[in-house]
Amino acid sequence: MPSSKSRFMLLALALVAPFATLGDGRAEDAPLRIGVLNDQSGSTADVTGLGSVIAARLAIEDFGEKVLGRRIELLSADHQNKTDIAAAITRRWIDVENVSAIVDGGTSAAGLVIQDIVKEKEKIAMFSGPATSDLTGKACSPLGFHWTYDTYALANTLPRAMAKSGVDTWFFITSNYAFGHALERDATTAIERLGGKVLGRVRHPLGTADFSSFLLQAQGSGAKIIGLANSGDDSLNTIKQADEFGIVKGGQRLGGLLLLINTVHGLGLKASQGIVIAEAFYWDLDDETRRFSKRFEALAKKKPNMIQAGVYSAVTHYLKSVQKAGSIAGPVVSDTMRSLPVNDFMSKDVKIRKDGRVMRDMHLFQVKSPSESTGPWDYYQYLSTVRGEDAFSPIAESECTLLK
């Protein structure tokens, strides 16, 4: 029987195989290989997963499937939200499969591990799924890019909106790993800066099914808003059980600090109506977002979320930069990526900061009621936009050595 590590490696290779080529696979072609590494079977699979693979495929297709005369090949694997599997796949891809760039990352814990390895190997990492602001903070890398959103932006944007309406006391239900900790930390900083208070917090394991004890503590705290510092199925289960407990009917509000459209779709508008959320993308913002989303939905059978849209954006910008640099060498491409503005259906002349932070705008939305929705996936009412310079962590507060 193979060792545990060997089984992980066999699993990674098995998952790579179906997505291994976008050409005829001949070694002499020296293809440029990009890997999508994320959760494809666990609690965050719906919000990253195969949707991110589809988004990357569309980006490669739109680029023409070649760059610098090389075929572009797409690899994909499931790290199952386990850092040891993420590390094993990353090293295998770089050392054996000659992968030049890894995109998405899935969860924050996996993203931090991937960041360390690609920095050591001088390859590129572009994170769309991981939320922790540490990726451009104390764990920043000259070869790493945080593409779509982060915990600071989510935590900074939503409390501002709540404070304006007099909601100033919070209780957190938090995923007990790097993402949840960072989101709770950044939100607490923003809340206290605005004069609010955090009355308490509870932390739960990833993939928890029963939130009743956590919700009872939140209910008993008397906080005006219960902040959900979790995501994916955990957010879905929290909101569903909060509805059963009558928390909103009792006068408290729910704040989805990372509540994606997939979760709203799974819950339905009756359970999720009225929740205010911050996102970097919504499929129905304009004609360009609608065109991309129509193509994505034809393949994925659902609308894209901001993570998946961010994967398309990241792969597109990476390929433009490889073309401009005339090289696939990580340090050379990294410098070129920072020098070029990001332009695509969700990004208009967006700058990339030296720490790898893509300084895109964040949008505030409110989930519609069933009577306000005009059809499938018509879930958000646009409220306002926060400029990237105001949404993300200022340079003066950064722990990134690249900014010093």
Question: What average pLDDT does the segment 378-391 reach?
Answer: 93
Contacts of 270 (CB under 8 A, 6+ apart): 243, 370
One domain for residues 228 and 369: yes
| More reliable by pLDDT, 383 or 36 | 36
Q: At what angle do helices 4-16 and 83-95 cross, to 10 degrees?
A: 60
Is 386 part of a structural domain of the chain? yes
Distance CA 402, CA 139 (A): 10
Q: For position 300, what pLDDT does the model report?
A: 97
One domain for residues 100 and 15: yes
Our count of domains for the chain comes to 2
One domain for residues 235 and 380: yes
One domain for residues 51 and 178: no
Looking at the predicted structure, is the pLDDT value of residue 37 above 70? yes
Is 402 part of a structural domain of the chain? no
Token pair, residue 235, equals 């957010």
Is 270 part of a structural domain of the chain? yes
Looking at the predicted structure, is the pLDDT value of residue 274 above 50? yes
Q: Are 133 and 112 in contact (CB under 8 A)?
A: no
Distance CA 392, CA 397 (A): 10
One domain for residues 365 and 355: no
One domain for residues 331 and 375: no
Q: For position 360, what pLDDT does the model report?
A: 97
Q: For position 29, what pLDDT does the model report?
A: 60
One domain for residues 220 and 344: no
Looking at the predicted structure, is the pLDDT value of residue 173 above 90? yes
Distance CA 209, CA 86 (A): 24
Distance CA 258, CA 252 (A): 18
Question: What average pLDDT does the segment 239-243 reach?
Answer: 91
Handedness of CA 21, 27, 33, 38 (dihedral sign): positive
Q: Please state which of the ranges 111-115, 261-265, 283-287 shows the lowest mean pLDDT.
A: 261-265
Question: What average pLDDT does the segment 198-210 reach?
Answer: 94
Residue 18: pLDDT band with limits 50, 70, 90:
very low
One domain for residues 18 and 123: yes
Distance CA 146, CA 148 (A): 6
Q: For position 5, what pLDDT does the model report?
A: 38
Is 404 part of a structural domain of the chain? no
Question: What average pLDDT does the segment 370-388 reach?
Answer: 94
| More reliable by pLDDT, 159 or 4 | 159
One domain for residues 158 and 233: yes
Is 346 part of a structural domain of the chain? yes
One domain for residues 125 and 211: no
pLDDT more than 90, % of the chain: 74
What CATH number does residue 339 fall under?
Answer: 3.40.50.2300
Is 399 part of a structural domain of the chain? no
| More reliable by pLDDT, 403 or 26 | 403
Contacts of 228 (CB under 8 A, 6+ apart): 173, 235, 238, 239, 254, 255, 256, 257, 258, 259
Is 352 part of a structural domain of the chain? yes
Contacts of 347 (CB under 8 A, 6+ apart): 313, 358, 360
Strands lying side by side in the sheet with 253-256: 197-204, 169-175, 225-229, 253-256
Residue range(s) defining the domain that contains residue 263: 152-279+361-391
As a whole number of Å, the CA-based R_g of the chain is: 20
One domain for residues 304 and 376: no
Distance CA 356, CA 337 (A): 9
Q: Are 187 and 219 in contact (CB under 8 A)?
A: no
Residues 132-164 have pLDDT tens digits of: 999 999 999 999 999 999 989 988 888 887 888
Looking at the predicted structure, is the pLDDT value of residue 256 above 60? yes
Of 25, 34, 80, 30, nearest in space to 57 by CA:
34
Q: Are 346 and 310 in contact (CB under 8 A)?
A: yes
Strand 32-38, strand 99-104: pairing: parallel
**Range among 135-144, 164-173, 387-396 with highest mean pLDDT value:** 135-144
Distance CA 184, CA 131 (A): 11
Is 397 part of a structural domain of the chain? no
For 71, the 3-state DSSP assignment is: strand
One domain for residues 103 and 161: no
| More reliable by pLDDT, 252 or 11 | 252
Q: Are 310 and 279 in contact (CB under 8 A)?
A: no
Distance CA 327, CA 138 (A): 29
